[in-house]
Structures are given as structure tokens and as C-alpha cells.
């Protein structure tokens, strides 16, 4: 590394070892200060250089594999300026970004500047020729989206980078279409060419698992060292040797310079356990515990008031030596899944910051329900006040029932999913809600303790995407963080709890999903507010009182305390 960049040995070292090339590239551009390379990244680079002609990298979200592979493309062009490269991503925008990164490195890196465009070749957002090459039909680098027209193109190196995304693999039909698109790579790859996939799983039926069965060699680099029994697609032998030698332990971060244990725990809480297992731990087959990601145990079960909620509330399975399990709730979940009450409830109660209702209209199938859910929000916690449903027509009585619930629970906004006649239901519901209008400071307002009166808007909302994924992706992160408080009546609803505990990411996995869809819709209306750090809010409000009550919940010698939920 002490040799100058004009030295023959230095240049040969750059050309002969991708890891050294990237080390120098990072050092020259200061990337070693903001994204230092660890053993994991060097291991991926070794695989990129030396793997078989049809290979792939499966790495956790945020690992930086696109940057590393862009460097690999630049290194290949350093060794063979006549090489033709095809960059493919889920969108052309992403592919263009990769091309722009490679072009920038070529123009501003001393040992790549001889590849700069001389003015005679192509140089646009999606096509680029390196300098000093013979004129050819295909550019040195071309950038395409996976749905782009690549027929007729020819390349010696094809780099499909994250072609599997939620947008391209959400439904079975999308996955079938994606599989057909990637088959085209075989017809445009030049003899002795290479195809190098980069990806992260987006679905249990990932296209990368199909490609592995068809002969592609993949290796996996998860964010944590796997636990015994974890199923990964060809876990990195280098990382496995560290485990075997005792240099690393299961569950530890594999790239702590990028994501340490706290970072990973925060991401797990943010995306949910099952998504984290797929996209960060790279599990190829989820256990039942992850296949069915929504658990009754993740609720905080506590009576929910129509107008106010505790300033703070905390989930826990034990208060001192006593379990907080709620014993009068039937076990609708799988295995030993059950409900738990809080270990702490603030004595100070405040009005909700907002309450919303979401209605999922009947889809018109036999036994389909029109379901609605009412959720309030305070200090980063969501409170499920009510989930209900009816079958049959939108009669005057049924509409009045919805409107009455909205008034009783102080609903501000009523949102109606418009996919199945919801627009019509919204129009029918407006008069029923208007009939319950309460003028501010009126006698009725005083009687119901509504000094500002009451009125609610009724608006349709169009939703898109696979329903099961939408429900899980909305509810799982909030539930995993134990920030969803359910009234006992909610968790005693057998229909709702069965739907909640049996839903998977598989399309049409439930015969009926009306109530869980309504609940997810109501929770989703507060998504933009859920970035509040509930723990930080507690500290700002009254950390001293919170800690004092937690101390009181600890067991005293000879006098184990009664569970907190049972005292309330």
C-alpha cells in the first residue's frame, strides 16, 4: 500500500485482487471514514471475484451490497475495457443510480481515469462507454429496469440488483411475471459471460430460492450469526468458521461496524419479527412462530375508556414474581399464546390526541361482514376501543349502529375503504352521522361531557396491494413494540382473534378477514404518528413517577405483590 499508483506492482495488485481494489477505492474517496469495510464485506468481495459464472449474493438490508458490486463492475472494466455490462434493478432509476456511481468513480479515481469517455462513445443516463474501445452495438454499461426492453441486448456481465422488491413480488402473479423476466438473461448473456445476482428476500417464495434450484450458486450473509437450527441458503463458510472456532457466537452482529446489537434490535422492533427474520436474518423457511406473525401476547390488555387514556402504560409478562397473564380470555392463539395485562398504568389519564374509525365494507361474498374498528392515540400508544361487524345490507339500523359507536368513542374521522362499494357506503353513512351532530356548549354537549360538541367527517379511501401483506406490515411492528392496547372485549372476540392469529403472508390464507382488515386499517391511519418514542415521552412527562411505580411492582420478602393488571 506504500507503493505509488504508477508502480507496476501496485497496478497489477489492483487488477488481481478485488478486495485490494475496493480498499484503495474506499480510501481514495474517503468512504473508509463513513462506511468502513469489515471482514463480512471483504468476504462478499472475494465471492464476487471468485464465485462461479452464475452466482448471487444474499445479504441483509442496508449491507451496502450495491456499492460493493458497483466497485466490482468498475474492477471488471479495469481488467477488460471491452466488457459489456448490463445493470438491472426493479426500477430503471435504481439502475441509473448504479451507472452514475460507476461513471463517477471512473472520472475521479486516478487508477480508473484512463477509462474516461473521450467524446466518441455513448454517455447518457442509461448508457455509458468507457474510453479507448472499439465501436460496438452495445455500450460498455447499460442500465435497465426489470420491465425494460432488454431483448436484442448482449452482455458479458449481467448484474440484477434487487430485482425482487415488494412492488415486484407482492403477489403470486407478480412473482410469476418476475420469473419470466429473469429468464431473458440467459438469451442475452454472451458465451463465457457471468450473471451475478444481488438480493434480499421479500417473500417466502423468493425468486432467489428458485434460481438456486436451477443451478445458481448463492451465498448468504445475515445481519446476525445464525442460531442452531436456522435455515439459510448456503451460509458464508467464512462466517461459519468463525462460529466453529469460537471467534463469534450465535446471535451476535456479523457486521458490527455497520449495525451493532442495539441497531439491529431497533430495526427488528421497527419492521416486525417475521420481516426481520426474512430480510435481516435471511431465514429461508419461517417457523410457525414467524409464519403466523401476529400474537395475542403482544397486546397490552386493559380496559379502554372512550374519551381518555393513561398518560403512560407498560407491557410485561411478570410483575414481580407474578404473571400478568389475563386468565379470563380464551386461548384463540397457537400453542401457548395468551394475553397479558400491563405491569404499569399511570394514575393520570388524559384525553386522546385523536380517535379514528376505519370501515371495511362487505365484499359481497357469502358471510362477508361489514366491519369497523375504532382506535385512539396518546403518547405513541394506540388504544383499540371497539371492533364490530354486521352481515347483510347497509340498513338504517346498521348505519345507525356505526354512527352511534362513532359518537360514543369520540371519533373524529371515519374512513371507509372504497374498494368494494365503500364510496356508496360512505355516502349512506353521512346522513346517519349528521343526525347525531352535537352543537358546542349545548345541553346535549354538557350531558355527554362534550364541551366542543361532536361531529365527524366520513371519507372513502382507496387501498392497494396484497391484503395479507398490508395487514401484517401494519400491525406487526406496532404489536412487537407492545404499543397496541386492547380492550378486553376486543381480545375476547373469537372471530377477530382467530383471523389475527392465523393470518400469514400467503394470498387468500383466510376465508374471512373483515375484522382484522378493519383493525389494520384503523391502526394504519396513525402510522405517521408512531415514530414517537414512547419511552422518551414517558421520561419527558414524569420519569421519576414511572420508575417509582416499577419499583413498587418488584417482590418484597414474603409478600409477592398482586399483578398490576388485577389491581386496576
| Statement: residue 385 has pLDDT above 60 | yes
Q: What mean pLDDT comes out for the span 425-444?
A: 94
pLDDT-derived band at 216, boundaries 50, 70, 90? very high
| Statement: residue 505 has pLDDT above 60 | yes
Q: What mean pLDDT comes out for the span 242-265?
A: 93
Looking at residue 198, its pLDDT comes to: 94
Looking at residue 171, its pLDDT comes to: 62
Looking at residue 7, its pLDDT comes to: 73
Looking at residue 176, its pLDDT comes to: 84
pLDDT-derived band at 543, boundaries 50, 70, 90? very low
pLDDT-derived band at 294, boundaries 50, 70, 90? very high
Higher-confidence residue: 330 or 69?
69
pLDDT digits (tens, 9 = 90+) for 322-354: 899 998 888 788 777 889 999 999 999 999 999
pLDDT-derived band at 190, boundaries 50, 70, 90? very high
pLDDT-derived band at 424, boundaries 50, 70, 90? confident
| Statement: residue 567 has pLDDT above 80 | no
Looking at residue 464, its pLDDT comes to: 83
| Statement: residue 225 has pLDDT above 50 | yes
| Statement: residue 183 has pLDDT above 50 | yes
Residue 153 and residue 168 in contact, taking contact as beta carbons nearer than 8 Å: no
pLDDT-derived band at 46, boundaries 50, 70, 90? very high
Looking at residue 85, its pLDDT comes to: 95
pLDDT-derived band at 549, boundaries 50, 70, 90? very low
Residue found by looking up cell 448468504 in the block: 220
Angle between helices 237-244 and 39-50 (to 10 degrees): 140
The CA distance from 268 to 277, in Å, is: 8
Looking at residue 532, its pLDDT comes to: 52
Spans of all domains in the chain: 8-279, 296-547
CA dihedral 473, 477, 479, 485 (to 10 degrees): -100
Q: What mean pLDDT comes out for the span 254-270?
A: 90
Angle between helices 467-480 and 261-271 (to 10 degrees): 130
Looking at residue 68, its pLDDT comes to: 92
First to last CA, the chain: 69
The CA distance from 517 to 415, in Å, is: 13
The H-or-E segment that residue 161 falls in is strand 155-161
- Protein fold of 8-279: Rossmann fold (3.40.50)
By DSSP bridging, strand 369-378 and strand 381-391 are antiparallel
Q: What mean pLDDT comes out for the span 158-164?
A: 94
Report the percentage of the chain scoring pLDDT > 70.
89
Higher-confidence residue: 285 or 549?
285
Residue 259 and residue 223 in contact, taking contact as beta carbons nearer than 8 Å: yes
Looking at residue 224, its pLDDT comes to: 96
Q: What mean pLDDT comes out for the span 58-80?
A: 93
In this structure, what C-alpha cell is assigned to residue 536? 422518551
Helix and strand element counts for the chain (H, E) = 21, 20
Mean pLDDT, the chain, integer: 87
Alpha helical stretches, state H, 118-235: 166-169, 172-188, 207-213
- Which range among 67-71, 136-140, 258-262, 365-369 shows the weakest confidence by mean pLDDT? 365-369
Looking at residue 507, its pLDDT comes to: 80
| Statement: residue 43 has pLDDT above 70 | yes
Q: What mean pLDDT comes out for the span 170-175?
A: 71
pLDDT-derived band at 546, boundaries 50, 70, 90? very low
Residue 379 and residue 534 in contact, taking contact as beta carbons nearer than 8 Å: yes
- Protein fold of 296-547: Nucleotidyltransferase; domain 5 (3.30.420)
Among 426, 502, 433, smallest CA distance to 460 is for 426
Do 8-279 and 296-547 share a fold? no
By DSSP bridging, strand 127-128 and strand 141-145 are antiparallel
Higher-confidence residue: 152 or 193?
193
| Statement: residue 133 has pLDDT above 80 | yes
Q: What mean pLDDT comes out for the span 300-322?
A: 93
pLDDT digits (tens, 9 = 90+) for 5-42: 457 889 999 999 999 999 999 999 998 888 888 899 99
Alpha helical stretches, state H, 409-533: 422-434, 443-447, 467-480, 488-491, 494-502, 514-524
Q: What mean pLDDT comes out for the span 235-244?
A: 94
Higher-confidence residue: 465 or 369?
369
Looking at residue 333, its pLDDT comes to: 81
**Spatial CB neighbours of 454, under 8 Å, sequence gap ≥ 6:** 407, 410, 436, 437, 438, 445, 448
Higher-confidence residue: 363 or 207?
207
| Statement: residue 248 has pLDDT above 80 | yes
Looking at residue 364, its pLDDT comes to: 62
Looking at residue 531, its pLDDT comes to: 57
| Statement: residue 165 has pLDDT above 90 | no
Amino acid at each position: 500500500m506504500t507503493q505509488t499508483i504508477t508502480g507496476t506492482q501496485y497496478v497489477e495488485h489492483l487488477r488481481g485482487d478485488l478486495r485490494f481494489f475496493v480498499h484503495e477505492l474506499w480510501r481514495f474517496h474517503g468512504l473508509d471514514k463513513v462506511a468502513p469495510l469489515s471482514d463480512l464485506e471483504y468476504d462478499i468481495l472475494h465471492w464476487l471475484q471468485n464465485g462461479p459464472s452464475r452466482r448471487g449474493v444474499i445479504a441483509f438490508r442496508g449491507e451496502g451490497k450495491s456499492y460493493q458490486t458497483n466497485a466490482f463492475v468498475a474492477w471488471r472494466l479495469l481488467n477488460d475495457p471491452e466488457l459489456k455490462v448490463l445493470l438491472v434493478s426493479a426500477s430503471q432509476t435504481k439502475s441509473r443510480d448504479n451507472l452514475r456511481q460507476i461513471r463517477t468513480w471512473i472520472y475521479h479515481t486516478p487508477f480508473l481515469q484512463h477509462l474516461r469517455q473521450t467524446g466518441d462513445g455513448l454517455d447518457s443516463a442509461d448508457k455509458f462507454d468507457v474510453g479507448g474501445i472499439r465501436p460496438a452495438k452495445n455500450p460498455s454499461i447499460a442500465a435497465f429496469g426489470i420491465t425494460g426492453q432488454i431483448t436484442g441486448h448482449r452482455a458479458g456481465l449481467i448484474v440484477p440488483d434487487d430485482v425482487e422488491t415488494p412492488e415486484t413480488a407482492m403477489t403470486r402473479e407478480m412473482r410469476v411475471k418476475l420469473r419470466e423476466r429473469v429468464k431473458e438473461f440467459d438469451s442475452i448473456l454472451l458465451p463465457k459471460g457471468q450473471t451475478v445476482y444481488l438480493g434480499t428476500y421479500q417473500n417466502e417464495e423468493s425468486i432467489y430460492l428458485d434460481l438456486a434450484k436451477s443451478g445458481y450458486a448463492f451465498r448468504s450473509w445475515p445481519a446476525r450469526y445464525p442460531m442452531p437450527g436456522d435455515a439459510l441458503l448456503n451460509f458464508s463458510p467464512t462466517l461459519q468458521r468463525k462460529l466453529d472456532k469460537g471467534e463469534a457466537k450465535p446471535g451476535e452482529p456479523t457486521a458490527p461496524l455497520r449495525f451493532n446489537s442495539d441497531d439491529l434490535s431497533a430495526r427488528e422492533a421497527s419492521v416486525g419479527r417475521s420481516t426481520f427474520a426474512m430480510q435481516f436474518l435471511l431465514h429461508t423457511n419461517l417457523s410457525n412462530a414467524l409464519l403466523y406473525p401476529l400474537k395475542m401476547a403482544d397486546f397490552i390488555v386493559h380496559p379502554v375508556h372512550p374519551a381518555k387514556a393513561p398518560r403512560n402504560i407498560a407491557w410485561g409478562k411478570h410483575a414481580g414474581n407474578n404473571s400478568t397473564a389475563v386468565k379470563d380470555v380464551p386461548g384463540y392463539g397457537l400453542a401457548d399464546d395468551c394475553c397479558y395485562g400491563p405491569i404499569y398504568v399511570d394514575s393520570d389519564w388524559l384525553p386522546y390526541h385523536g380517535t379514528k374509525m376505519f370501515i371495511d365494507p362487505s365484499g359481497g361474498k357469502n358471510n362477508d361482514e361489514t366491519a369497523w374498528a375504532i382506535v385512539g392515540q396518546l403518547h405513541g400508544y394506540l388504544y383499540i376501543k371497539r371492533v364490530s361487524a354486521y352481515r347483510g345490507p347497509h340498513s338504517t339500523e346498521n348505519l345507525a349502529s356505526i354512527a352511534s359507536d362513532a359518537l360514543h368513542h369520540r371519533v373524529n374521522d371515519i374512513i371507509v375503504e372504497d374498494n368494494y362499494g365503500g364510496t356508496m357506503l360512505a355516502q349512506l353513512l353521512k346522513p346517519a352521522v349528521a343526525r347525531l351532530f352535537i352543537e358546542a356548549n349545548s345541553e346535549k354537549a354538557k350531558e355527554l361531557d362534550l364541551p366542543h360538541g361532536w361531529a365527524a367527517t366520513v371519507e372513502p379511501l382507496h387501498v392497494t396491494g396484497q391484503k395479507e401483506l398490508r395487514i401484517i406490515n401494519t400491525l406487526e411492528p406496532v404489536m412487537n413494540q407492545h404499543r397496541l392496547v386492547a380492550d378486553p372485549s376486543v381480545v375476547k372476540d373469537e372471530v377477530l382473534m382467530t383471523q389475527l392469529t392465523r393470518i400469514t403472508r400467503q394470498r387468500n390464507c383466510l376465508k374471512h378477514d373483515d375484522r382484522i382488515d378493519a383493525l389494520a386499517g384503523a391502526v394504519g391511519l396513525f402510522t405517521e404518528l408512531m415514530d414517537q418514542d414512547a419511552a422518551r415521552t414517558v421520561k419527558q412527562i414524569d420519569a421519576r413517577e414511572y420508575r417509582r411505580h416499577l419499583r413498587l411492582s418488584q417482590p418484597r420478602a414474603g409478600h409477592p405483590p398482586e399483578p398490576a393488571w388485577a389491581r386496576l
